[in-house]
Amino acid sequence: MLKIVHYINQFYGGIGGEEKADVRPELREGAVGPGTAFAAAFGDAAVITHTVVCGDSYFGENIEEAKAAILEMVRGVKPDMFIAGPAFNAGRYGVACGTICAAVKEELGIPVLTGMYVENPGAEMFRDKFHIVATRESAVGMRDAVPKMAKLALKLARGEKIGASIEEGYMPGYMRVNFFEAERGSKRAVDMLLAKMKGEDFVTEFPMPDFDRVEALPALKDMSKMTVALVTSGGIVPKGNPDRIESSSASKYGEYCIDGVTDLTDATYETAHGGYDPIYANTDADRVLPVDVLRDMEKEGRIGKLHGKFYTTTGNGTAVKSSAAFAQEFAQKLRNDGVDAVILTST
Amino acid sequence: MKLTIGNIRITDIVLGEQSAVTGSTLKVNVKELEALILEDERIASVCFDVAKPGESTRITPVKDVIEPRTKVEGPGGMFPGVVSKVATVGSGRTHVLKGMAVVTCGKIVGFQEGIIDMSGPGAEYTPFSQTVNLVLNFAPVEGLAAHDYEHALRMAGLKSAVYLGDLAKDVKPDEEIVYEFAPMAKGIEKYPGLPRVGYVQMLQSQGLLHDTYVYGVDMKQSLTTMICPTEVFDGAIISGNCVSACDKNTTYHHQNSPVVEDLFARHGVDLNFAGMIITNENVYLADKERSSDWTAKLVAMLDLDGVIISQEGFGNPDTDLIMNCKKIEALGVPTVIITDEYAGRDGTSQSLADVDAAANAVVTGGNANEVITLPKMDKVIGSLEYVDVIAGGFENNTNADGSITVEIQAIIGATNELGFNKMSAR
C-alpha cells in the first residue's frame, strides 16, 4: 500500500482560525480533517500515514524554518507521495501548499500534488512547477476536489502516465500532454474564430507563456587580448558524428578540440542538424562554425586567441529546457577555462 | 470559381498487368508504371508494394504522400506547372481516388523523412494508416546529389499519382461535393450579414526538403500572394518533401486542405469565405518582415473580418507565425493560429520558439517531442536503417525485441498544423 503524507493548515487541522495561525508545524499520525475524505477515496490503494499541520502565518513569516522542519518530518516518514491542501482561494494557505510541495519535490524527490482555486496567488507562483488541481473558491468544492486529487495522486505515486490537464483536472502550465479531441484541428479553429469574432468566450489550446527573452550585453570594445570561443546550435560535429548527437530534439551537446585546426573541410567536419539544407554546411562547415575566419583574426591580432574547444548541439526541435541545461554546464567550463567572449552561431 | 469533386471509393489495390478502376479496386499495371518512372534516368530502380490498414507493416523513410486525382472538366490539369502545363485550375470537375494514397520512400535524402505504421500504436498518429497505400520504393543512381535525388523522387511520385488518377476519368463517382468561391463584390452581395473570413496558409520554404511549390514556383522566391481556395484541390500546391515528418504538409494534405474544407462547410451559413492568402517561411529576417507585411496588407485589402493562420514546421517558422499574427491583429482583425509544440519529452519545456500576447487563440496539433515505442512489424517497406538519424530518432533506439522508440515527430503527419488531425495537447 502506498504511503502518503498530507499537509494542511491550522484551520483544517482543527486547531483554530486566524488566532491560531502562528502555530508551528507538527506531525500527527494518520489522516486529519480533509485527509479522512482522501483516505476514503484511496480505499485500499493508499494510506495517509501522517499529517503535517502548520499555521499559515507561521509558515508565511518563517518560510525557511518551516520548510526545514517539515522536510525533516517528511524525510523521516519516507512516503511515496506528498499531498497539500486543497487550499481553495485561501491565499497564504495556497502559497504555503505550493512552497512546501516545491521543496518536497526538489529536495526529497517525492512526487507532490496540491489543489487550489485558479486565482489563488499560489497558483500563479507554482502552476508551472508541478501538478495543481483546479478547485472551486471555497471548501464547498471539497467534494469535487478530493476524487480528482486522489485519482491523480495515485497515478503520480505509481509513476503512471499522466493525461492532459483537461482530462485530469490539473491547471495548464506545467506539463503539455497530447490527447485526442472530438473534432479535427481545422474545425476547432473555425469554431474558435467564429467565437472570437463575436466576442464570445473561447478557450485557447495553448495559453501564451511568459517568454524567456535574454537581454544582449553591451558590445566588447577591444578583443585583441581576449580568448574567444565558438558555440553553435547548428550541429557542426567531427565527420561521422562520433557522439551521435540527434538530428532533432538533441539530448546532449558535444565538446570538440580544435587545437591546430585552421579550416573545417568536407573530409573532417559535417552537420548533424536536421532542420536545414545540410549540403552547404557539409561542403564547408566554416559557414556555420567560422573557425577559418577566427584563425585569420587571431593571426591579424584582432582577437587574442581562439579557444581550443568548441561546443555544439542541434537546435532543431530541441526543448528550450534541454538547451538551457546544456548551456549552464558548458558555460561553467568556458568560464573555468578563462574564456572572455563567446560567439554563438545558429544555422 | 465552381469545382465539383467526385470521390471514387478505393478499398483495395491489386498489382498486375492491367491498369484500371474496377468497382472499388484499383488495378495497377506494374510494368507500365515502372517504365514511366524509369524515364527519369536519375532513378536506378523502383519497387512497388501495397500497404493496407490494419496490416503489420511499417513504411520508412517516407518522403511524400499523394492522392491520385484527375481533371475531368475545366481548364488545366493536375499539378499545374509541375506535371501538367501551366493553366489555372480549380473549376469544372475533378475525380479523386478516395481512400488510397501514393507513398514515396527509399534511401534517405536528409533527416526529415518519416514513418507510417499501418497498425499498432503508431497508426493512431498518422492519417495514412487509414488509406490503402501504393508504396513506391526508389533507389537512385549512384553518386546522385541530394537536391537531384529529392527532385527525381518528387516528380516520380507526382507523375505516378497522375497516371493512376487518370484511370478515374470515366468512372462514376460514389459521392460528389461542390465548392464555389464567389468574387469579392458578389460574395458581399450574396452574404451581406456574414463576416468575411480568410485563410492565411504559411508554406515551408527553407531549402532542401523544406520547399513548397505553387504552380511550379518555388515559394521562397515568391511574394505573399492570393489563391482561389478551390485551386488547392487540383494540386496547385505541392510538397517539396519537408520539415520533420510530423508537421510537414504532404502533397496529400494540400490536396485535402482541411481549413479550406471546413471554411467551405460554413460558407454562407455563419461566415463568408472571402479569400485565401499564401505566404512563405524564408530564413532571412528581411524576408520574414516583407512576407508578414504583405500578409497583413492583403488581409486589409480583402477587408477581412477574421483570419485563420496555419503554420508548417517549427522553430524558425514560429517567428513568421507570430509576425503574421501580430501584424494582422494590429489591424483589429481577430486571428486563430494553428501550430504544434516542442515542449520536451516530458512536456515541461517552452513549447514555441516565439510567442506574443496577441496570439490569444491557438489550436495545437500536439507536442511533437512525446516519446512512443513502436512495436516490431512483420513487414518493412523501405529500410529501418535510418530510424535513429531521422528527426525524432536517437542513438540506440532499436530495442532488443525489435521495437523502436522515437519521438512522434518521426511519424508522418502526427502533429499536422493544417488541423488535419484530432490530436491536441493541454
Examine the pLDDT at B394 and tell me if it is beyond 70: yes
CA distance A133 to A146: 10
In chain A, residues with a C-beta closer than 8 Å to the C-beta of B370 are 177-178
Task: Note whether A6 and A35 are within 8 A (CB).
Answer: yes
A274-281: average pLDDT = 88
B359–A274 C-beta distance less than 8 A: no
A66-90: average pLDDT = 97
A299-318: average pLDDT = 95
Q: What percent of chain A has pLDDT over 70?
A: 100
Closest Cβ–Cβ partner in B206, B315, B363 for A205: B363
Lowest mean pLDDT segment, chosen from A43-52, A311-320, B373-382? A311-320
pLDDT confidence bin for B244, thresholds 50/70/90 = confident
Calculate the average pLDDT of chain A: 95
B262–A189 C-beta distance less than 8 A: yes
Task: Note whether A47 and A81 are within 8 A (CB).
Answer: no
pLDDT confidence bin for B362, thresholds 50/70/90 = very high
Lowest mean pLDDT segment, chosen from A32-46, A203-217, A304-318, B200-214? A203-217
Catalytic residue set of B: 242
For residue A139, give Cα distances in angstroms to A87, A134, A136.
8, 13, 8
Q: Could you tell me which CATH number the domain at A2-168 has?
A: 3.40.50.2300
Examine the pLDDT at A297 and tell me if it is beyond 80: yes
Closest Cβ–Cβ partner in B347, B349, B391 for A274: B391
- Three-class secondary structure of residue A43 per DSSP: coil
Q: What is the pLDDT of residue A181?
A: 97
B201-215: average pLDDT = 90
Q: What is the pLDDT of residue A347?
A: 82
Q: What percent of chain B has pLDDT over 70?
A: 100
Examine the pLDDT at A66 and tell me if it is beyond 90: yes
**Helix (H), strand (E) at residue A191:** helix A185-198
Restricting to A residues 275-294, those with a Cβ less than 8 Å away from any Cβ of B are 275-279
CB atoms within 10 A of CB B15: 14
Which residue from A315, A245, A235 is spatially nearest to A282, judged by alpha carbons?
A235
CA distance B202 to A159: 40
Q: List pLDDT tens digits, range A160-214.
A: 999 999 999 999 888 999 999 999 999 999 999 999 999 999 999 999 887 777 8
Euclidean distance between the first and final Cα of chain A, in Å? Answer: 53
Closest Cβ–Cβ partner in A164, A211, A322 for B349: A322
Restricting to A residues 16-55, those with a Cβ less than 8 Å away from any Cβ of B are none
Which residue from B28, B65, B317, B340 is spatially nearest to B167, judged by alpha carbons?
B28
Q: What is the pTM of this model?
A: 0.91
Calculate the average pLDDT of chain B: 96
Higher pLDDT, A274 or A81: A81
Q: List pLDDT tens digits, range A141-154.
A: 999 999 999 999 99
3-state per-residue secondary structure call for chain B: CEEEEEEEECCEEEEECCCEEECCEEEEEHHHHHHHHCCCCCEEEEEEEEECCCCCEEEEEEEEEECCEEEEECCCCCCECCCECCCCCCCEEEEEEECEEEEEEECCCCCCCEEEECCCHHHHHCHHHCCEEEEEEEEECCCCCHHHHHHHHHHHHHHHHHHHHHHHCCCCCCEEEEEECCCHHHHHHHCCCCCEEEEEEEEECCCCCCEEEECCEEHHHCCCEEECHHHHHHCCEEEECCCCHHHCCCHHHHHCCHHHHHHHHHECCCEEEEEEEEEEECCCHHHHHHHHHHHHHHHHHCCCCEEEEECCCCCHHHHHHHHHHHHHHCCCCCEEEEEEECCCCCCCCCCCCCCCCCCCCEEEEEECCCEEEECCCCEEEECHHHCCCCECECCCCECCCCCEEEEHHHECCCCCCCCCCCEEEC
For residue A26, give Cα distances in angstroms to A55, A85, A98.
10, 16, 18
Q: What is the DSSP letter of A66?
A: H
Q: What is the pLDDT of residue B111?
A: 79
Chain A residue with the nearest C-alpha to that of B408:
A178
Q: List pLDDT tens digits, range B294-305.
A: 999 999 999 999
A167–B407 C-beta distance less than 8 A: no
Examine the pLDDT at A250 and tell me if it is beyond 70: yes
Q: What is the pLDDT of residue B154?
A: 95
CATH 3.40.50.2300 maps onto chain A at 2-168
Q: What is the pLDDT of residue B242?
A: 65
pLDDT confidence bin for A106, thresholds 50/70/90 = very high
Q: What is the pLDDT of residue B176?
A: 98
Lowest mean pLDDT segment, chosen from A25-39, A212-226, B113-127? A212-226
pLDDT confidence bin for B169, thresholds 50/70/90 = very high
Residue type, B44: A
Q: What is the pLDDT of residue A231?
A: 97
Q: Compute the nearest-CA separation of B111 from chain A (Å).
A: 5
B306-323: average pLDDT = 96
Q: What percent of chain B has pLDDT over 90?
A: 91
For residue B142, give Cα distances in angstroms to B41, B44, B45, B145, B146.
11, 8, 11, 9, 11
A206–B348 C-beta distance less than 8 A: no
**ipTM of predicted complex:** 0.97
Q: Compute the nearest-CA separation of A116 from chain B (Å).
A: 19
A42-52: average pLDDT = 96
